[in-house]
Amino acid sequence: MPAKKQNVSLLLFLFLTLLCQAQVSVCSWNLMNFGKSKSDSELEFIANTLNKFDIVTIQEVVAGNGGAQAVARLVNILNNKGAHWDYVVSDPTTSDNPSSVERYAYLWKPTKVKKIGNSWLEQNFEKEIDREPYMSTFDYNGKTFTLASFHAVPKKKHPESEIKYFKSIPALYPKLSLIFMGDFNCPQSNTVFIPLKNKGYKSTLTNQKTSLRQKCIDNDCLASEYDNIYYNSSKTTIKQAGIVPFYNQFSTNKEARHISDHIPIWGLFLFN
Protein backbone atom coordinates (compact mmCIF):
# COMPACT_ATOMS: atom_id res chain seq x y z
CA MET A 1 0.00 0.00 0.00
CA PRO A 2 1.40 3.46 -0.86
CA ALA A 3 2.62 5.51 2.11
CA LYS A 4 -0.07 8.18 1.60
CA LYS A 5 -2.88 5.61 1.74
CA GLN A 6 -1.30 4.01 4.79
CA ASN A 7 -1.29 7.37 6.58
CA VAL A 8 -4.94 8.00 5.64
CA SER A 9 -5.90 4.53 6.86
CA LEU A 10 -4.03 5.07 10.14
CA LEU A 11 -5.73 8.41 10.73
CA LEU A 12 -9.13 6.86 9.99
CA PHE A 13 -8.39 4.01 12.39
CA LEU A 14 -7.34 6.43 15.14
CA PHE A 15 -10.45 8.56 14.56
CA LEU A 16 -12.79 5.56 14.72
CA THR A 17 -10.99 4.29 17.83
CA LEU A 18 -11.45 7.64 19.55
CA LEU A 19 -15.07 7.74 18.43
CA CYS A 20 -15.68 4.37 20.09
CA GLN A 21 -14.33 5.66 23.38
CA ALA A 22 -16.19 7.82 25.86
CA GLN A 23 -14.58 10.72 27.65
CA VAL A 24 -15.75 12.55 30.74
CA SER A 25 -14.27 15.27 32.96
CA VAL A 26 -14.10 14.51 36.67
CA CYS A 27 -13.12 16.91 39.44
CA SER A 28 -12.25 16.22 43.08
CA TRP A 29 -12.12 18.93 45.72
CA ASN A 30 -11.62 18.85 49.46
CA LEU A 31 -13.75 21.85 50.41
CA MET A 32 -12.62 22.54 53.95
CA ASN A 33 -15.42 22.43 56.52
CA PHE A 34 -18.09 22.54 53.83
CA GLY A 35 -21.28 23.48 55.61
CA LYS A 36 -23.41 26.37 56.78
CA SER A 37 -20.33 28.54 57.37
CA LYS A 38 -19.95 28.95 53.60
CA SER A 39 -21.48 32.25 52.53
CA ASP A 40 -23.55 32.77 49.39
CA SER A 41 -20.66 34.61 47.75
CA GLU A 42 -18.26 31.77 48.57
CA LEU A 43 -20.69 29.23 47.14
CA GLU A 44 -21.01 31.38 44.01
CA PHE A 45 -17.23 31.32 43.63
CA ILE A 46 -17.13 27.53 44.12
CA ALA A 47 -19.91 27.05 41.56
CA ASN A 48 -18.07 29.14 38.98
CA THR A 49 -14.98 27.00 39.58
CA LEU A 50 -16.82 23.69 39.17
CA ASN A 51 -19.31 24.49 36.43
CA LYS A 52 -17.16 23.29 33.53
CA PHE A 53 -16.83 19.71 34.78
CA ASP A 54 -19.16 16.73 34.16
CA ILE A 55 -18.81 15.11 37.60
CA VAL A 56 -17.57 16.59 40.87
CA THR A 57 -16.83 14.83 44.12
CA ILE A 58 -16.48 16.81 47.34
CA GLN A 59 -14.70 15.73 50.51
CA GLU A 60 -15.04 17.23 54.00
CA VAL A 61 -18.76 17.92 53.89
CA VAL A 62 -19.86 18.67 57.45
CA ALA A 63 -21.62 15.64 58.94
CA GLY A 64 -23.89 17.61 61.23
CA ASN A 65 -26.40 20.33 60.57
CA GLY A 66 -25.57 22.36 57.47
CA GLY A 67 -23.41 20.00 55.42
CA ALA A 68 -26.03 18.43 53.16
CA GLN A 69 -27.83 21.77 53.02
CA ALA A 70 -24.67 23.48 51.76
CA VAL A 71 -24.40 20.94 48.94
CA ALA A 72 -28.03 21.65 48.01
CA ARG A 73 -27.34 25.41 48.04
CA LEU A 74 -24.33 24.88 45.78
CA VAL A 75 -26.35 22.79 43.33
CA ASN A 76 -29.07 25.44 43.21
CA ILE A 77 -26.47 27.99 42.17
CA LEU A 78 -25.01 25.63 39.56
CA ASN A 79 -28.48 25.05 38.12
CA ASN A 80 -28.69 28.76 37.33
CA LYS A 81 -25.57 28.67 35.19
CA GLY A 82 -26.93 27.04 32.06
CA ALA A 83 -26.70 23.30 32.79
CA HIS A 84 -28.79 21.04 35.01
CA TRP A 85 -27.02 19.34 37.92
CA ASP A 86 -28.03 16.51 40.23
CA TYR A 87 -26.36 15.41 43.46
CA VAL A 88 -26.16 12.84 46.23
CA VAL A 89 -24.73 13.20 49.73
CA SER A 90 -23.40 10.28 51.77
CA ASP A 91 -24.45 9.23 55.22
CA PRO A 92 -21.92 10.24 57.89
CA THR A 93 -18.78 8.11 57.87
CA THR A 94 -18.44 5.57 60.66
CA SER A 95 -15.39 6.91 62.47
CA ASP A 96 -15.14 6.11 66.17
CA ASN A 97 -13.86 9.66 66.67
CA PRO A 98 -16.84 12.08 66.49
CA SER A 99 -14.58 14.94 65.33
CA SER A 100 -13.49 12.88 62.31
CA VAL A 101 -16.99 12.05 61.06
CA GLU A 102 -17.77 13.67 57.71
CA ARG A 103 -19.91 13.26 54.62
CA TYR A 104 -19.00 13.10 50.93
CA ALA A 105 -20.95 14.37 47.94
CA TYR A 106 -21.20 13.72 44.21
CA LEU A 107 -22.51 16.34 41.80
CA TRP A 108 -23.06 15.61 38.11
CA LYS A 109 -24.70 16.81 34.92
CA PRO A 110 -27.46 14.30 33.98
CA THR A 111 -27.22 15.41 30.35
CA LYS A 112 -23.61 14.16 30.31
CA VAL A 113 -23.62 11.12 32.60
CA LYS A 114 -26.15 8.80 34.22
CA LYS A 115 -25.75 7.57 37.77
CA ILE A 116 -26.27 3.80 38.08
CA GLY A 117 -27.86 2.43 41.25
CA ASN A 118 -27.23 3.67 44.76
CA SER A 119 -24.00 5.21 45.97
CA TRP A 120 -22.44 3.55 49.01
CA LEU A 121 -19.88 3.98 51.77
CA GLU A 122 -17.40 1.10 51.42
CA GLN A 123 -18.11 -1.09 54.45
CA ASN A 124 -15.49 -3.81 54.04
CA PHE A 125 -12.82 -1.75 55.79
CA GLU A 126 -14.95 0.55 57.95
CA LYS A 127 -12.99 -0.48 61.06
CA GLU A 128 -9.60 -0.02 59.41
CA ILE A 129 -10.37 3.23 57.56
CA ASP A 130 -11.53 6.24 59.58
CA ARG A 131 -13.58 7.82 56.77
CA GLU A 132 -14.44 4.98 54.44
CA PRO A 133 -14.53 5.77 50.68
CA TYR A 134 -17.83 6.84 49.13
CA MET A 135 -18.44 4.98 45.88
CA SER A 136 -20.75 5.69 42.96
CA THR A 137 -21.12 4.16 39.49
CA PHE A 138 -21.81 6.28 36.42
CA ASP A 139 -22.55 5.59 32.77
CA TYR A 140 -21.21 7.73 29.93
CA ASN A 141 -22.23 6.74 26.40
CA GLY A 142 -22.58 3.11 27.42
CA LYS A 143 -19.30 2.99 29.33
CA THR A 144 -19.57 2.48 33.09
CA PHE A 145 -17.05 3.46 35.74
CA THR A 146 -17.07 3.69 39.52
CA LEU A 147 -15.61 6.57 41.48
CA ALA A 148 -14.36 6.14 45.03
CA SER A 149 -14.07 9.45 46.89
CA PHE A 150 -11.79 9.46 49.92
CA HIS A 151 -10.50 11.72 52.68
CA ALA A 152 -7.63 10.17 54.64
CA VAL A 153 -6.70 10.89 58.23
CA PRO A 154 -4.19 13.75 58.69
CA LYS A 155 -0.50 13.16 58.15
CA LYS A 156 0.19 13.08 61.90
CA LYS A 157 -2.18 10.10 62.16
CA HIS A 158 -0.33 8.16 59.42
CA PRO A 159 -2.69 7.91 56.42
CA GLU A 160 -0.53 5.04 55.12
CA SER A 161 -2.24 2.85 57.74
CA GLU A 162 -5.50 3.36 55.81
CA ILE A 163 -4.25 3.58 52.23
CA LYS A 164 -2.64 0.13 52.48
CA TYR A 165 -6.13 -1.41 52.35
CA PHE A 166 -6.90 0.12 48.95
CA LYS A 167 -4.92 -2.66 47.26
CA SER A 168 -7.68 -5.07 48.32
CA ILE A 169 -10.65 -3.09 47.00
CA PRO A 170 -10.28 -3.97 43.27
CA ALA A 171 -10.63 -7.68 44.10
CA LEU A 172 -13.95 -6.92 45.80
CA TYR A 173 -15.29 -5.39 42.57
CA PRO A 174 -13.52 -7.23 39.72
CA LYS A 175 -16.10 -6.16 37.11
CA LEU A 176 -15.95 -2.45 37.94
CA SER A 177 -13.66 0.14 36.40
CA LEU A 178 -12.52 1.83 39.60
CA ILE A 179 -11.14 5.34 39.99
CA PHE A 180 -9.89 6.35 43.46
CA MET A 181 -9.80 10.07 44.10
CA GLY A 182 -9.60 12.60 46.86
CA ASP A 183 -7.35 13.85 49.63
CA PHE A 184 -4.93 11.09 50.60
CA ASN A 185 -2.77 13.31 52.84
CA CYS A 186 0.08 11.39 51.27
CA PRO A 187 2.13 11.88 48.05
CA GLN A 188 1.84 9.44 45.17
CA SER A 189 5.56 8.68 45.57
CA ASN A 190 4.94 7.00 48.94
CA THR A 191 5.64 3.26 48.88
CA VAL A 192 2.17 2.55 50.27
CA PHE A 193 0.81 3.03 46.73
CA ILE A 194 3.13 0.42 45.19
CA PRO A 195 0.70 -2.54 45.62
CA LEU A 196 -2.06 -0.53 43.92
CA LYS A 197 0.31 0.55 41.15
CA ASN A 198 1.36 -3.09 40.69
CA LYS A 199 -2.28 -3.82 39.89
CA GLY A 200 -2.12 -1.37 36.99
CA TYR A 201 -3.30 1.79 38.75
CA LYS A 202 -1.63 5.07 37.85
CA SER A 203 -1.78 8.54 39.37
CA THR A 204 -3.02 11.42 37.25
CA LEU A 205 -0.70 13.90 38.97
CA THR A 206 3.01 13.62 39.75
CA ASN A 207 5.00 16.02 41.94
CA GLN A 208 1.98 18.33 42.06
CA LYS A 209 1.29 20.08 45.37
CA THR A 210 -2.40 20.54 46.12
CA SER A 211 -2.74 22.03 49.62
CA LEU A 212 -2.44 25.74 50.36
CA ARG A 213 0.25 27.25 52.53
CA GLN A 214 -0.81 29.62 55.26
CA LYS A 215 1.19 32.26 53.42
CA CYS A 216 2.92 32.25 50.01
CA ILE A 217 6.72 32.07 50.10
CA ASP A 218 8.45 33.62 47.06
CA ASN A 219 5.27 33.11 45.02
CA ASP A 220 5.11 29.46 46.09
CA CYS A 221 1.60 29.17 47.51
CA LEU A 222 1.23 25.39 47.70
CA ALA A 223 2.44 23.18 50.53
CA SER A 224 2.01 19.43 50.01
CA GLU A 225 1.27 16.79 47.39
CA TYR A 226 -1.87 15.31 48.94
CA ASP A 227 -4.74 15.13 46.43
CA ASN A 228 -4.71 12.77 43.48
CA ILE A 229 -6.70 10.46 41.23
CA TYR A 230 -5.71 6.81 40.69
CA TYR A 231 -7.18 4.96 37.71
CA ASN A 232 -6.97 1.45 36.28
CA SER A 233 -4.81 1.92 33.19
CA SER A 234 -6.05 -1.32 31.61
CA LYS A 235 -9.63 -0.03 31.53
CA THR A 236 -9.18 3.74 31.48
CA THR A 237 -6.99 6.27 29.72
CA ILE A 238 -6.21 9.72 31.05
CA LYS A 239 -6.36 12.28 28.26
CA GLN A 240 -5.59 15.33 30.36
CA ALA A 241 -5.22 16.15 34.05
CA GLY A 242 -4.48 19.18 36.11
CA ILE A 243 -5.35 21.51 38.96
CA VAL A 244 -7.45 24.65 39.34
CA PRO A 245 -5.23 27.28 41.05
CA PHE A 246 -8.20 29.25 42.36
CA TYR A 247 -6.01 30.99 44.95
CA ASN A 248 -4.60 33.18 42.17
CA GLN A 249 -7.90 35.07 42.23
CA PHE A 250 -7.29 36.24 45.80
CA SER A 251 -4.82 38.77 47.17
CA THR A 252 -3.55 36.39 49.86
CA ASN A 253 -3.70 32.73 50.76
CA LYS A 254 -5.48 33.76 53.95
CA GLU A 255 -8.39 35.00 51.84
CA ALA A 256 -8.28 31.96 49.53
CA ARG A 257 -8.42 29.60 52.50
CA HIS A 258 -11.92 30.86 53.30
CA ILE A 259 -12.87 28.77 50.26
CA SER A 260 -10.61 25.82 51.09
CA ASP A 261 -7.10 24.81 52.11
CA HIS A 262 -6.96 22.48 49.07
CA ILE A 263 -7.24 23.18 45.36
CA PRO A 264 -9.46 21.22 42.94
CA ILE A 265 -7.85 18.49 40.86
CA TRP A 266 -9.31 17.07 37.67
CA GLY A 267 -8.91 14.50 34.92
CA LEU A 268 -10.37 13.97 31.47
CA PHE A 269 -10.86 10.24 31.09
CA LEU A 270 -11.37 7.92 28.14
CA PHE A 271 -13.15 4.63 28.83
CA ASN A 272 -12.30 1.74 26.52
Q: pLDDT of 48-61, one tens digit each?
A: 999 999 999 999 99
Angle between helices 40-50 and 67-78 (to 10 degrees): 60
Burial class (CB in 10 A: 0-12, 13-18, 19+), 123: exposed
- CB within 8 A of 165, min separation 6: which ones? 125, 128, 129
Mean pLDDT of 187-194: 98
Digit-coded pLDDT (tens) for 103-135: 999 999 999 999 999 999 999 999 999 999 999
Give 21: exposed, middle or buried? Use CB within 10 Å, 0-12, 13-18, 19+.
middle
Predicted local confidence at residue 96, as pLDDT: 82
Mean pLDDT of the chain: 93
